[in-house]
Structure 1
Amino acid sequence: MMPSYFFAHGAPSLVLEEHAYTDLLKNFASHTTKPKAIVIFSAHWEEPVQTVSAVDLYSTIYDFGGFQDDLYRMTYPAPGDRSLSDQIQSLFTEHGIPSRLNEERGLDHGSWAVLKLVYPDADIPVVALSVNRYLTNEQQYEIGKALSELREQDVLIIGSGGTVHNLRSVNWRAEGVDEWAGAFDGWLQSKLEAWDTESLFKYRELAPHAQMAVPTSEHFIPLLIAMGAGDANRQATLLHRSYQYGNLSLSCWQFN
């Protein structure tokens, strides 16, 4: 069964950077089975109703400003998969999750910056999905769980976001890691590895420095969704964790 994954997408410039985390992303395909399709939830696509892309060929969205010129010349013209989009919508219906299709939206940097590092040829069909910060954490998990059977069809489910993502607190010149960021991620690791969903769903009340680490939830949600997709076996493995600018986390979790 294909594992599901959470990838931190960091800053948009991630796709141009060279360090241990980008090395992991670039080598990911050489250590895993090539998927038949990719389903990706991006923190940068928010909708009030769960939305499923249904396009033939993706355009590239440059949803950022002030970065290197090279970023605005990059494209990721991945094909869509309308039959998979329809199947996803059917699965949501079966699990009582309202959804709708979107036949126009391209891929934002939460999707294409990661996918360009992992599968640079853009030759694997992609279905992009939105997130909704106003659902409960239990509902986020259930969205991933509703799609878990796709893993048996060699479909790769990815959540793209960031466990510690507070742009007001980043220090562009920092070299070390802020203690509060490490404390939050340490708590998170212990709960993920124990598959302690009861605590995870209450992370805002229980985790140290949760408000600093997750001032708004849209970047944390993809982690819960990816975890939900791994509900059948409930095994979480941390593949990488590092930080940029003092507290912007770059982490990768695998859920089997």
Structure 2
Amino acid sequence: MMPAYFLAHGAPSLVIEDHDYSRFLRQFASSLPVKPKGIVIFSAHWESAVQQVSSVETYETIYDFYGFPDEMYRMTYPAPGDAALSRQVSAMLDGAGIPNRPDTGRGLDHGAWAVLKLAFPGADIPVVALSVNRHLSNEQQYEIGKALGELRKKDILIIGSGGIVHNLRRMNWNAGLGHADSWAVEFDGWIRRTLEGWNTAELFRYSELAPHAGQAVPTSEHLVPLLIAMGSGDADRKARLLHQSYQWGSLSLSAWQFD
């Protein structure tokens, strides 16, 4: 069965960077059991009060950032949509009692296309993009992923794209790739222990129990895709850390596999 994944998308410039994590993403597709028949991706940069399910023919590329090199504004990722897969996703959410709506116009934001462009540069795999809602409970986030877990049996790749430690105000812009702030490492370590032990009771209370939670997760939209991806692996409950590194002291670049 196709695993589900959480992939950090880092800064928008990830797509033009050369370091261990960008190289990991460039090799990501070769690690999959088969070529996905479709990709379902939740991006932290698409927030909506009601779950949105994209249904477009071909995606436009959204440049939801500023101040980056000109080449990034010339990049495109014209991935095809998949109307049948979109309908199936909606039906599965309906079956779990999760309200949702189709979206027929939105393109892919950088939380989605930067990761996909590195991992699947050919843009030849159909994509269904989904929004996140930070105001739901952590249990509800997990249930969204769980509702879609059966897609993995049909070689559909489920990705949550976000960041476990994501606090732009605490980043050290002078720190090199080899430096990691201790508080960020401690929070990531706590998250790792709960994921590997599949301890959802504690994970759902991370804001109370985890060290430095307020610094690591000032707002939860970047952590939500982790909970959704984990929920997609509920059938077997196995979590494996594939990559961990940091940019600017505390921006966590991590990849998790759930199967």
The TM-score by the shorter chain falls in which range? Answer: over 0.9
Q: Deviations over 1:86-136 (max 9, x none)?
A: 011100110000000000000000000000000000000000000000000
Residue by residue, what CA displacement relative to the aligned partner does 1:136-156 show, whole Å, maximum 9, x if unpaired?
Answer: 000000000000000000000
Calculate percent identity across the aligned residue pairs. Answer: 67
> What amino acid is aligned across from residue 242 of structure 1 in structure 2?
S
Aligned match of 2:131 = 130
Whole-angstrom CA distance in 1 between matches of 2:61 and 2:200: 35
Matched, 1:167 2:156: no
Report deviation, 1:31: 1.9
Separation (CA, whole Å) in 1 of partners of 2:248 and 2:58 = 35
* Structure 2 residues without counterparts, runs of 5 or longer: none
- Listed as ranges, the matches of 1:158-197 within 5 Å are 158-175=159-176, 176-197=179-200
1:228 to 221, 226, 231: 231
3-state SS in 2 of match to 1:147: helix
Corresponding residue of 1:3: 3
CA distance in 2, matches of 1:147, 1:21: 27
Aligned equivalents of 1:165 and 1:91: distance in 2?
A: 30
CA distance in 1 between counterparts of 2:42 and 2:27 reads 21
The count of residues paired between Structure 1 and Structure 2 equals 256
Give the distance between the partners of 1:187 and 1:28, measured in 2 at CA.
Answer: 25
1:251 aligns with 2:247: no
**Corresponding position: 1:15 with 2:15:** yes
CA RMSD of aligned residues (A): 0.4
Map of 2:74 onto structure 1: 73
Separation of aligned partners in 2, 1:84 and 1:187 = 36
Looking at structure 2, the residues matched to 173 and 34 of structure 1 have their Cα atoms a distance apart, in angstroms, of 39
- Tell me, yes or no, if structure 1 residue 98 matches structure 2 residue 102: no
Aligned to 1:139: 140
Moved over 2 A (4+): none
Shift of 1:30: 1.4
Report what 2:245 is aligned to. 242
TM-score (norm 1): 0.99
Cα drift, residue 29 of structure 1 = 1.2
Q: Distance in 2 between matches of 1:31 and 1:166?
A: 30
CA distance in 2, matches of 1:31, 1:233: 19
Q: Which residue of 1 aligns with 2:31?
A: 31
